[in-house]
Structure 1
Amino acid sequence: MFNTNIKSVFELTQTFSTEQDCIDYLEMLKWNKLPVSPFDETSKVYKCKNNQYRCKNTGKYFNVKTGTMFENSKISLRKWFMAIWFVTSHKKGISSIQLGKDIGVRQATAWFMLQRIRACFGIENNNELEGIVECDETFIGGKNKNRHKDKKVPHSQGRSYKDKVPIMGMLQRGESEIIERPHKVIPNKTVREKVIHKTSKMNAFVMNDTKRKSIQPFIYSFVKADTNLMTDEWWAYKGLDKDYNHKFIDHSKKEYVSLQDNNIHTNNIEGSWKILKNSISGMYNHVSKKHLQKYVDEFVYRFNLRKVSDQEKFRYLLLNSNVRTKYKELCH
């Protein structure tokens, strides 16, 4: 039996003290003791030596790592498990330099492991959103004050996005409901209590630009019709009122919460952008556009599961580890 209440790296190493422990745990999570062929799910499976299995219909051999981020990796599963724990439990993530030191591998190896892990974070970035949804864009890249003197943009010309990458986000606010319960002391009387029943969820995607033709398809893909949609005054959101209850706040007038209705604002998603930027600038220093979506997926995974225990975050990623990324895909 495995410890189902892991609270620290120490307990993790105790629970998975051998490579066989890791293999047995993966088999339990993935197959529940009934191996399934990745080549033909209907095929009968034969157990072979060294944790190998053979698919009867195709004649191919496989193991629990086939088709996952662990396939053909020379790194032990014990180190993989530690890496996943560190990535999912740290609030701002972990750098490849630090991870390499923590699990005893080269920095380049740690970077490759992190990229494989990040490729699985996309499981939390495709939520169907409803209720009250805030939409906003942000930009990742260099600051004007850090540009070379001859490349700085005068304040009179506004902001320049030539060296920035736009990100579009949609955040579903957490909802609460009022319920009535019998009073514990006074007979025939009820009390009204606020009960939180849904936490906020978020989707975010790297974009080529912030034009209407780029932004609106994402909204239609992930936000249910007739949802209460909150945005700023950016022109790319115009026309959404045909399918949504679209309200906007005019930041150009220094307005951040509507005086007529305090539900009309985008403060929640704007606050989440600060966390994303602090994470990238504070932990990773620089992220190329090619890999930026993976870092955004990591941020969304952590944001959406922020109220879930470290043990559940770890287990959830293992359950969804069937994304294999090859080294040449990352470097070319």
Structure 2
Amino acid sequence: MEALQSIATLEELRRQFHTESSCFHFLYKLKWPHGFVCPRCQHAHSYVIRTRRLPLYECRACRHQTSLIAGTVMEGSRTSLQKWLTAFWLVSRSDTGINAVRLSSIIEVTYKTAWLMLHKIRAAISRTDTERPLQGVVHGFVAFYGRHPSRQLNPRECPLIVAESVTPDGQTGEIKMKLVEPTGHCNKLLLRSDCEHFAALHVAKTAAETSIIRHNYRVRRNRPLFQSFRRAWRWMNDTFHGIGAKYLQTYLDEFCFRFNASLHHTSAWEQLLYICMAVFSPVPTSSCIGYDEPLVPDTPAAA
């Protein structure tokens, strides 16, 4: 699709999708590229009900009703399609990313709405990431976000495994950064069981080799993989002023998504659109922000 080609500026995006109708037809083609398909019985014909903001499609075979945003990250949202498309594009930007404060200002919604939109997008990215295990030869090491100088693991530190697939010619392939439960760690050494658990979840069964350094001090700081971790750290601190442990994994997945997208010929914008329009169970609003949780900007990590 022509609109999936690279859009360099926010102004170009707004010119491309200047009305709700243009957004609707674009997203319709993404969701149903060959025409309507009933999500329940796969029938290809429907009645159109136009009494709502977005039309409902009633299957002529089983009478199931669905909409353009049903099953996508936008399900249940009253926010305009123009603002959602803007959010998708801003998240896909490899240079900066976006935080909720800035997004709320750009698309003119409340901070709460912007935060929920970003949380749902990141949840879709994380869900897709679990379906793409690392292939081939996999190397990795243990790292700590919110690092303290002490040799003992500080309660405010977050241990994680940073891993990469290595291509046959020795080049870095896709990367993953996954948090590790801190229980049972001593002197910041990763347990063998942690490596095995990571490999079981995030490395393909057909991987030729998996090697993870369990002692952080043995990692060479000039390695490209270590530098990728440092870039992720700087991005989180510069864009969000640090991240608390509760949502850290989704931000790590977002960074890896853009990094991995840069390795392929398709744009992160294109990949994110397909991820967010894919049919899956949406994230319940109640799971995003608790009623007793204060609604504040992205909170800083431990110093």
Give the TM interval when normalised to the shorter protein.
Answer: 0.7 to 0.9
Q: 1:28 Cα shift?
A: 0.7
What whole-Å deviation, never above 9, does each CA across 1:17-39 have from its counterpart, x for those lacking one?
Answer: 11111111111111114112223
Q: How does 1:87-98 map to 2 (within 5 A)?
A: 87-98=91-102
Contact 1:175–1:199, Cα closer than 8 Å, also in 2: no
Structure 2 match to 1:39 = 40
Q: Any idea what SS the aligned residue of 1:137 has?
A: strand
* Cα deviation code 1:290-319 (max 9, x no counterpart): 21111111011011012457x832222121
Residue 329 (structure 1) aligns with: 287
**Separation in 1, partners of 2:165, 2:86:** 32
Of 232, 235, 244, 2:213 maps to: 232
Q: What SS class does the counterpart of residue 58 from structure 2 fall into?
A: strand
Structure whose alpha-carbon radius of gyration is higher: 1
Partner of residue 272 from structure 2, selected from 317, 324, 329 = 317
Alignment of 1:22 with 2:23, yes or no, is yes
In the alignment, the residues of structure 2 paired with residue 165 and residue 39 of structure 1 have an alpha-carbon distance, to the nearest angstrom, of 42
SS in 2 for 1:162: coil
Matched letter for residue 161 of structure 2: M
2:77 matches 1:73: yes
Alignment correspondent of 2:139? 134
Q: Is the 8 A contact 1:127 1:203 kept in 2?
A: no
- Give distance in 1, aligned partners of 2:166 and 2:78: 43
Tell me the CA shift for residue 73 of structure 1: 0.8
Report the aligned-residue RMSD.
2.8
Structure 1, unaligned stretches of length 5 or more? 145-152, 178-197, 235-249, 258-265
Query: If each structure's strand is expressed as a fraction of its own residues, which one has the higher value?
Result: 1
Q: In 1, Cα distance between the equivalents of 2:179 and 2:119?
A: 17
Q: 1:224 deviation in Å?
A: 4.6
Matched residues in 2 for 1:327 and 1:90: separation?
A: 27
CA 40–211 in structure 1, closer or farther in 2 if over 3 Å, else same: farther
> In the TM superposition, what is the alpha-carbon distance from 1:166 to its structure 2 partner?
1.4
May I ask how many residue pairs the two structures share in their alignment?
A: 274
Show the counterpart of 2:198: 218
Measured after TM superposition, the shift of residue 268 of structure 1 is 2.5
Q: 1:244 corresponds to which residue?
A: none
| Structure 2 Cα separation of the partners of residues 208 and 51 of structure 1 | 45
Residue 64 (structure 2) aligns with? 60
Contact 1:233 1:251 in 2 (8 A): no
| Equivalence map 1:92-111=2 (5 Å) | 92-111=96-115
SS in 2 for 1:331: coil
Matches within 5 A, 1:68-217: 68-122=72-126, 123-141=128-146, 143-144=148-149, 153=150, 158-176=151-169, 200-209=173-182, 210-217=190-197
Aligned residue for 2:18, secondary structure, equals coil
What is the rounded CA distance, in whole Å, between the counterparts of 1:256 and 1:4 in structure 2?
A: 39
Deviation, 1:325, is 1.7
Distance across 2 between alignment mates of 1:22 and 1:130: 36
Q: Residues 167 and 206 of structure 1 are in contact (CA less than 8 Å); yes or no, is this contact kept in structure 2?
A: yes
Following the alignment from structure 2 to structure 1, what is the Cα–Cα distance between the partners of residues 99 and 235? 10
Kept in 2, the 8 Å contact 1:124–1:304? The answer is no
Give, in whole Å, the separation in 1 of the partners of 2:131 and 2:172: 16
SS of aligned partner of 1:68: coil
1:320 partner SS: helix
Gaps of 5+ in 2: 183-189, 291-303
- The aligned amino acid for 1:81 is L
TM-score (norm 1): 0.73
Contact 1:134 1:173 in 2 (8 A): yes
**1:126-168, Cα deviation, whole Å (9 max, x unpaired):** 4343444221121122645xxxxxxxx5xxxx24332111111
Cα 1:275–1:256 change in 2 (3 A) is closer
Q: In 2, are the aligned partners of 1:171 and 1:200 still within 8 Å (CA)? A: yes
State yes or no: 1:300 paired with 2:280: no
* 1:215–1:232 Cα change, 3 Å: closer
